[in-house]
Amino acid sequence: MGNTVHLLDFSDLIKDIEQSYNEVVEWRRHLHQHPELSFQEYETSKFIAEKLEQFGITEIQRNVGGTGLVAKIEGAQPGKTIAFRADFDALPIQDLKTVPYASKNKGVSHACGHDGHTAALLGFAKNIVKYKHLLKGNILFIFQHAEEQPPGGAKDMIAEHILDDVDYVFGAHLDSSLDVGKVAVGSGYKMAAVDHFKIHLKGLGGHGARPHEAIDALVGGAELVGSLQKIVSRNIDPLQAAVVTVGQFHSGSAFNVIAETAFIEGTVRTYDETIRHFVKERIEQITKGISLAHNLQYEIEYLLGYPALYNDEQQTEKVKQALKDGFGVEAVVELQPSMGAEDFAYFLLEKPGTYFKVGSKNERTETQFPHHHGRFDIDENVLVNIQKAFAYITYAYLIS
């Protein structure tokens, strides 16, 4: 690992990260008490900018693609530029916890850990800026808004050319299914593309005793719901991944009235782009065919959302080794694929890098609730571990 001076200085950086625990926890709890929904994160964005200024970081871009922010520190020597991203939006979920730092915004909470991501990246920025003399290259800190709500904030930030000079990009997500102290890393497809469809059917309402005089949208809709479930089981290679889920089906108003309209809403999750577009085409074909069979009018709204998240093999292996060197071999586990979605995928379409998860669960029940649950909470030691992970990656790319 580099020369002795750099090794000693880097050791001091790790100590600084450990000693900043209370301050970073304070930031996380402040953000937790004041959550803001996607595309509405004005006070959160202001809070981040004020902290970065206090750290002495002068190169700050505000209102990037909306409420996003980008900060940069330049190393003492020329070299590559790496980027770290944290998201900072909250969810429309009531905070059910009875803790002093519970959300003060009714119906809104940080039930996914984005407050932790932001606090940890702020902590890393504050700590690493004191050691920029070690850097052979530059670090970009990306604070991204609106991860939870498609079309998301990543695309608009990228559209403002924030990645033009970046060589590699990295993102971390705390994970309540993973023990604190563990880090999950892996290459290839790790998160799915997420698409959203709405189908409106229109027939002709009538009396329940005279069905021949009506056009029943409920019966057609029910057949459509069942048929959509067969796309994966009968049209997709069993060795490929795909999910079609109907989350809503609304039709009818009374027991003796034939429904004139039906509404179906759902999501599609895939990895492969060819399969992604095939499923969309099949949904459209099946809807058209069943509507024709039942003499219904139909309308489809189909949103292609976030793409699948693909971790670059070479950079993932480099990060995995850096984290093993830092945390120990036993602490690093394989990141399992998920059909969840994450708009960090847009960053990885532009630049090579990797997205990994850091454990936030301990023996307390309070830390074991799933993401997007009203009682979601974390072991706040994960805030230190995220910072350390960023430090070990920085060492591998810009110091050693």
Ranges of the chain whose pLDDT falls below 50:
1-2, 5
| Cβ burial, residue 366 (10 Å; 0-12/13-18/19+) | middle
12 is catalytic: no
pLDDT of residue 3: 52
Would strands 353-361 and 183-185 be described as parallel, antiparallel, or unpaired? Answer: antiparallel
Helical H segments across 150-204, by residue range: 154-159
Same domain, residue pair 204 and 156: no
Domain endpoint, select from 249, 284, 304: 304
Catalytic site residue from 87, 89, 115, 312? 89
Same domain, residue pair 133 and 205: no
Same domain, residue pair 46 and 150: yes
DSSP label of 112: S
Same domain, residue pair 171 and 242: no
What CATH number does residue 33 fall under? Answer: 3.40.630.10
160 is catalytic: no
The total number of structural domains that make up the chain: 2
Same domain, residue pair 150 and 220: no
Domain endpoint, select from 304, 336, 369: 304
Domain endpoint, select from 264, 281, 304: 304
Query: How does pLDDT run across 137-161, given as a tens digit for each residue?
Result: 999 999 999 999 999 999 999 999 9
Q: Which domain holds residue 243?
A: 193-304
Same domain, residue pair 349 and 378: yes
Query: How does pLDDT run across 309-360, given as a tens digit for each residue?
Result: 999 999 999 999 999 999 999 999 999 999 999 999 999 999 999 999 999 9
> Which tokens sit at 112?
């996914």
Catalytic site residue from 147, 260, 379, 380? 147
Same domain, residue pair 202 and 343: no
Same domain, residue pair 32 and 167: yes
Query: Which letter, b or e, does each residue of 142-180 get, where b requires 16 or more Cβ atoms within 10 Å of its Cβ?
Result: bbbbbbbbbebbbbbbbeeebbeebbbbbbbbbbbebeb
- Work out the percent of the chain whose per-residue pLDDT is above 70: 98
What CATH number does residue 198 fall under? Answer: 3.30.70.360
